[in-house]
Amino acid sequence: MTVRIAAFSDVHGNAVALAAVRKAIKAAKPDAILVAGDLVLNGPEPAAAIDGLRELETAGALIVQGNTDIAVADFDYAAAFPAYSDGVPDSIRYAAEWAHEAIGDERLDWLRRLPAERRLRADDTLVLVTHASPGSQTAGLDHDLDASVLVERLSHTDARLICCGHTHLPEIRDFGWKQVINDGSAGYVFDGDPTASWALIEIDGAEIRADIHRASFDALEVSNAITARGLPGDIYRAATVRTGKLVR
């Protein structure tokens, strides 16, 4: 029997994009939904984004925590952004503090309780959903990784299928022994297409098929809402949403 899975990640507080992705996924009627973290930082509606995600969770979706969710929930910037050895920029701190206040205590508790990884079994295929890579919320599966580093990161799980995000660049890679589905970003994509990306996966016995889908949303509306907020760095965040390219 074919098992159909929808996967998305990196909503980043973009509730408008999330609504578009939810509508598209509802039409696709998957058997399971996986959400790979980074849910609230950067966008203008983190509380609404969490509320929409919790509705999916109530219906059975498996949701994990991303590195920026750690920053928003507990201000542990060293854990969330280890690449910043001299401390994170003020623009990140201000955005995290703003989102922390915007979502309130009860949603913060939910964000803190999210696990780093979830697993499900589709017939004989073990599926892992994680934010960046198996065992890590910060070490991504970037396309230009050294081959030895990539193999090491993939080896941190027995899962045949790894669903992740973090890079904001959607791609599907089949290594034979493992397959990686990076759904891109459902709200803050970097590949130059200012839509929300998500993945639809079909598991049929030993065969895994996957496609990246795009859901259109009003990127200008979201961009304007970010600009109106007026936090340091918002001009760049707004431009990123508007163009679909990382602007900084």
Written as six digits, the tokens of 224 are 């304007």
pTM for this predicted structure: 0.96
Decide: 126 and 119 in contact? Cβ < 8 Å. yes
CA–CA dist 38, 133 (Å, integer): 13
Separation of CA 143 from chain center:
17
- For 3-243, CATH number out of 3.60.21.10, 2.60.40.10, 3.10.520.10, 3.20.20.70 equals 3.60.21.10
CA–CA dist 61, 190 (Å, integer): 25
CA–CA dist 159, 214 (Å, integer): 26
Average confidence score pLDDT of the chain: 97
Instruction: For 67-126, write each residue's pLDDT tens digit.
Output: 999 999 999 999 999 999 889 999 999 999 999 999 999 999 999 999 999 999 998 999
Sheet holding 207-215, edge to edge: 62-63, 32-35, 3-8, 196-204, 207-215
**1 — pLDDT class (breaks 50, 70, 90):** confident
Would the CA dihedral through 186, 61, 58, 65 be positive or negative?
negative
Q: What is the pLDDT, as a whole number, of residue 123?
A: 87
CA angle, corner 53, sides to 238 and 192, nearest 5? 35
Q: What is the pLDDT, as a whole number, of residue 182?
A: 98
Instruction: For 22-80, write each residue's pLDDT tens digit.
Output: 999 999 999 999 999 999 999 999 999 999 999 999 999 999 999 999 999 999 999 99
* Nearest partner of 164 among 130, 208, 191, judged by Cα: 130
CA–CA dist 66, 191 (Å, integer): 20
Written as six digits, the tokens of 21 are 């992705």
Strand runs labelled E in the chain: 3-8, 32-35, 62-63, 117-122, 125-130, 161-164, 171-174, 179-182, 196-204, 207-215
**Distance (Å) of CA 193 to CA 36, 77, 185, 244:** 20, 29, 11, 5
Decide: 153 and 139 in contact? Cβ < 8 Å. yes
CA–CA dist 26, 22 (Å, integer): 6
